[in-house]
Amino acid sequence: MSNVYEEVNPIFNTAKTTLHQLAQAGVAEAAEYEKALLDIQSEKSEYSADKEVFNEGGELEKLNELMLLLRYNIANREIALAGNKNVLDLACGYTPRGRYLIRNGYNYVGGDLPAVVEVMNILNEKLMDGKCTYLPTDVTNSLSVMAAADTMQGAVTISSEGVMVYLTLPEKRAMWQAIRDVLAKHGGVWLTTDYEVGMAFKAAAGALLGSRAGELLRKDLKEFDRQSDASIKTLPLDEAERLLNEDGMTVAKHPFWTDGMKIDQIDGYPPEVRDALIKGLCSVNIWAISLDKSAEIKPAVTSTMAGLELSHSISGNKLDISLSGRLDSISAPQLLELFDKISKENKIESITVSVEKLDYISSAGLRVLLRMTKHVGQENITLIKPNELVTSILEQTGFADMLGL
């Protein structure tokens, strides 16, 4: 089902490119992972960036390698400063952080989509003697995130890099609330570079590329869109912090660059470039987010971790589908696989989807609805009885208008 997972969760190319660029930047454990990954699935793990825009050794390639190296080292630094020996890495992708942390005496759990976890478990046995743990985890599902955290005893440092840009606002808040529930139960902190990473890119591009920074960053964004098939979804920093506070968490901000940091690539730049780069990075922060113990916390509402229950019937050219539970990043491929099978075997011209018992829908689920809509035409698909939360998500993403709700 891995191909179906890729269709509804179009992040695999960027995850592989991230690993490649970390390896190119000189992260030893990334090079080990990339080699092992190529052995497992060579036809899918090749470097995926557009070679006409990102030549090996070119300006944009070097900029991306530098930023990934910075994020990797900064997150590792902050994990050490947090002082917890348990690390939960959400949307871990193919990151080599587990190997690095295990070697340094940490307990490591990586959570991601089942297709990623399947590969990482092979690498875990091959490269780490099974010392890491990888679990299928939906970051928007409190029960799913809690199940991963509960494999460890004591306070947990939660790490996430690169996942927030893919999430709609309802998904962001669902992830925040899932993390908040873990912090309330286990204690610890959530570390993420995601909120200010765009500012870090601009600071680095300005220092390294000068007046051409804007043009090249637009090319970089275009390449991101091509690989991920997903637009970047950001929030103003003050709005993000306000909503985090509203959800019962507090934010501490630690500068990307601190005294004593040593990055060989940065030391190799001319002094004026190095000074401008460091000045820019000192104005950008990694966020350390913890529980606001004075806030009244209500656990996130998550009806099930089991996922989706669905039934269907076909009458002539009409398809009726009933959904119950969660249509999210883990369960959406189940619906897509069913629909693809039905549409190949039948001439489906209209679709009715009963969502009365659907508790939650993510962007992955919306992609499946969009696929179904394109198949029959906007006027030939109907959603029946969405609840308040599902309606809100559909309205915020523009699907309510498209579906006439």
Question: Which comes out higher in pLDDT, residue 327 or 45?
Answer: 327
Within this chain, do residues 205 and 342 fall inside the same structural domain, yes or no? no
**190 class by beta-carbon count within 10 Å (0-12 exposed, 13-18 middle, 19+ buried):** buried
Identify whether 85 is part of a domain. yes
Mean pLDDT along residues 180-194: 96
CA–CA dist 77, 90 (Å, integer): 17
CATH number at residue 350: 3.30.750.24
Tell me: do 159 and 27 sit in the same domain.
yes
* CA gap 69, 344 in Å, rounded: 45
The mean pLDDT value for 196-215 works out to 83
Look at residue 376 and tell me if it is in a domain. yes
Both 117 and 258 in one domain: the answer is yes
Whether residue 338 contacts residue 310, with contact meaning beta carbons closer than 8 Å, is answered with yes
pLDDT digits (tens, 9 = 90+) for 230-274: 455 678 999 999 999 999 999 999 999 998 888 888 988 999 999
3-class SS of residue 394 = helix
Of the three residues 291, 320, 336, the one that is the final residue of a domain is 291
Mean pLDDT within 211-218: 72
* 298 part of a folded domain: no
* Region 174-202 average pLDDT: 93
Q: What is the pLDDT of residue 192?
A: 96
**Residue 332 counted as domain residue:** yes
Q: Is residue 302 part of a domain?
A: no
What pLDDT, on a 0 to 100 scale, did the predictor assign at position 157? 98
Q: In the chain, what is the straight-line distance between the N-terminal and C-terminal CA atoms, in Å?
A: 32
Average pLDDT over residues 290-311: 75
What would the pLDDT profile of 309-344 be if each residue is shown by its tens digit? 888 999 889 999 999 888 888 888 888 888 889 988
pLDDT value at position 404? 61
Q: Give tens-digit pLDDT for 103-161.
A: 999 999 999 988 889 889 999 999 999 999 999 999 988 989 999 999 999 999 999 99
**Dihedrals phi, psi of 34, to nearest 5 degrees:** -60, -45
Torsion angles phi and psi, residue 300, rounded to 5: -60, 140
> Which of the residue ranges 41-50, 92-101, 224-233, 393-402 has the most confident prediction, judged by mean pLDDT?
92-101
Confidence of residue 396 (pLDDT cuts 50, 70, 90): confident
Q: Which residues of 326-355 are buried (b: 16+ CB within 10 A; e: fewer)?
A: bbbbbbbbbbbbebeeebeeeebebbebbb
Note the pLDDT of residue 17.
80
The CATH number assigned to the domain holding 211 equals: 3.40.50.150
* In a domain? residue 296: no
Residue 51, pLDDT score: 47
Is residue 372 over pLDDT 60? yes
In this predicted structure, the answer to whether residue 44 has a pLDDT above a threshold of 50 is: no
Q: Residue with structure tokens 């009963």? A: 354
For 58-112, the pLDDT digits (tens) are 677 788 889 899 999 999 999 999 999 999 999 998 999 999 999 999 999 999 9
For residue 383, give the DSSP letter: E
Pick the last residue of a domain from 258, 291, 324: 291
391 located within any domain: yes
With cut-offs at 50, 70 and 90, classify the pLDDT of residue 1: very low
Q: Does residue 355 share a domain with residue 327?
A: yes
Question: Is residue 299 assigned to a domain?
Answer: no
Q: Name the least confident of 22-31, 179-188, 355-364.
A: 355-364
Instruction: State the DSSP code for 54.
Output: S
Q: What is the pLDDT of residue 82?
A: 97
Q: Read off φ and ψ for residue 163, nearest 5 degrees.
A: -85, -35
| Distance in angstroms (rounded) separating the CA atoms of residues 213 and 210 | 6
- The answer to whether residues 38 and 172 belong to one domain is yes
Q: How many CA atoms lie within 13 A of 153 on its CB side?
A: 0
> Residue 29: pLDDT above 60?
yes
Domain containing 274 equals 2-291
Same domain, 220 and 335: no
In the structure, what pLDDT confidence band is assigned to residue 279 with cuts at 50, 70 and 90? very high
Taking all residues of the chain, what is their mean pLDDT, rounded to a whole number?
Answer: 84
The predicted pLDDT at position 239 comes to 94
For the chain, the domain total comes to 2
Indicate if the pLDDT at residue 398 is higher than 60: yes
Are residue 118 and residue 228 in the same domain, yes or no? yes
- If asked whether residues 116 and 246 sit together in one domain, one would say yes
% of the chain with per-residue pLDDT over 90:
41
- Residues 12 and 6 sit within 8 Å (Cβ to Cβ): yes
SS3 (DSSP) at 249: strand
**What is the rounded distance in angstroms from the CA atom of residue 351 to the CA atom of residue 184?**
43
Within this chain, do residues 268 and 130 fall inside the same structural domain, yes or no? yes
- Domain match, 240 and 361 both: no
- State whether 216 and 265 are in the same domain: yes
Which of 237, 256, 291 is a domain's end point?
Answer: 291
Residue 162 confidence (pLDDT): 83
Together in a domain, 130 and 12 = yes
- Average pLDDT, stretch 380-397? 81
